[in-house]
Structure formats: structure tokens, C-alpha cells
Amino acid sequence: MTDPSFLNDEPFPSEGALPSGGSSPSGGSFLSGGSFLGGESFLSDEPVIAVVRAPRIPDAAALCAALAEGGINLTEFTYTTPDVTSHLERASKAGWRVGVGTVLTAEQAERGMAAGASFLVTPGCRPEVAEAGRSAGVPVVLGALTPTEVARAVDLGAAAVKIFPARAFGPGYFKDLRGPYPEVRLVASGGVNAGNAAEFLAQGALAVCAGTDVVPPEVVAAGDWAEITRRARVFTEACAAAPAR
């Protein structure tokens, strides 16, 4: 019979993971939230990121202004949007806090940062994007879904880890992840709306991504900024119902 005492031994770390208290390639400690990328402050005062995917954006700066009027001060323009770097340049030069999302390569990361992106977001763990952000001192939000992927994202120095698609397991999944990863900054993305955003925050997400619930492609393309402000205000008011972080 197998000696059951082996169950008292320390578990083997997953591939690419570090034991609690170890060091990541960033030089920070595991679960530190990617300190080399400004993890201590990134997202600490902003619980919502607007994620814009639209076939056309008439005025990126005006869009950011409309979102800010509704209470959303971080805007992510994605590489699935035509001419995304032009939109980044216009909005960043106007003084808005913008990032670039759906970043898959270091080249995309560098182009986005050159255009004014102050943070990078990926749909999954992308080591070369993490390295590009580290080299430039720009926060990177790496996408993940499973506990192993969360550990991998932290090992790569993510300032925060985007759980995508969040709708796959719902708000309760964030409470589960907070068990083994109490210090990791988690961001809920995919399927988050005004009806469930507060619950994601209450269950352990540091921030949530507001997509089509706030910035529907057709409304953005039409340049209906008043409607964008209205939607942003509804979303942020819903988030305010979550317990204080």
C-alpha cells in the first residue's frame, strides 16, 4: 500500500510557476502583482476599463471624454479596430488615459506604446508582450482563465490578470481564485454588464471591463456621445453598489 504520508509533502509547482514567496522574472515576489510594471498603483483607483471594438470611431478623444463624463477614465482601444494607433494618438494627445488591447506580439505592443498607450492588454498569456511592457515600464494586463494560466501570467510580471471570458464561470469563480491567489489583481472581462458588474467586484475582481454594454459598436460609430455617457453612468453607478475595496 502506498504510504499516505507523501500527502504531507510540499506539492510540486506547476510548470512555469513559482512557490509562494519566490521571485518572478520581473524581480518582484510571486503574487506581487508585477511590481516592475507599476502594479502597486495600476487600477487601484479605477474599477472600470471601457473596451472599444468598433468598425469606425469618429473621434477617439471625444469618445474618451464622453466615457469620463459617465465616470469611466480608462479606455482600451483594441487591435480589432481599424486604425487603432491613430485613435490612440488622438486620445492620448488630448490627455486621456488609454491602453491598447488584443495585443498578440511585441511589435504590436511597441506600436501601441509609441502611439500613446499607457497600458497593454492581451487575450491570453503572451510572453513577448510582457517583455515589451517590462522593457518600457508599461503595465501589462495578461489574459488567463485557469489557475495555471493565472500563475503563468504572474510569473511573467503582469500588473493584473484579466480573466477571460469571465462569463464562462461567473462571479463566483473570482472568489475561488482569490483562495490560492489572494494578492493577484484580477480583472473580469467578457460578459460583464451593469447587471452583474457589482457582483464580480464583490467576489474578488479588482476591476471589470465594460464592453458592448457601454460602448456598442454601432453607437460608437455613430458618434452618439450622449448615449455613451448615459451608458457609462449606468454602469459605474451599478459598480458603486459593490462593497468598498
Give the catalytic positions in this structure: 76, 162
Report residue 15 as a C-alpha cell. 510548470
Residue-wise DSSP of 110-169: HHHHHTT-S-EE-SS--HHHHHHHHHHT--EEEEE-SHHHHHHHHHTT-SEEEETTGGGT
Sign of CA dihedral 208, 213, 215, 216: positive
Q: Decide: 133 and 139 in contact? Cβ < 8 Å.
A: yes
Q: Is 221 helix (H, G, I), strand (E, B) or coil?
A: helix
Q: Which helix (H) or strand (E) holds 51?
A: strand 48-52
Report residue 127 as a C-alpha cell. 510572453
The C-alpha atoms of residue 181 and residue 151 are separated, in whole angstroms, by: 8
The C-alpha atoms of residue 145 and residue 165 are separated, in whole angstroms, by: 7
User: Between the CA of residue 14 and those of 11, 17, 82, 161, 207, what are the distances in Å?
Assistant: 9, 5, 39, 18, 27
The C-alpha atoms of residue 59 and residue 38 are separated, in whole angstroms, by: 29
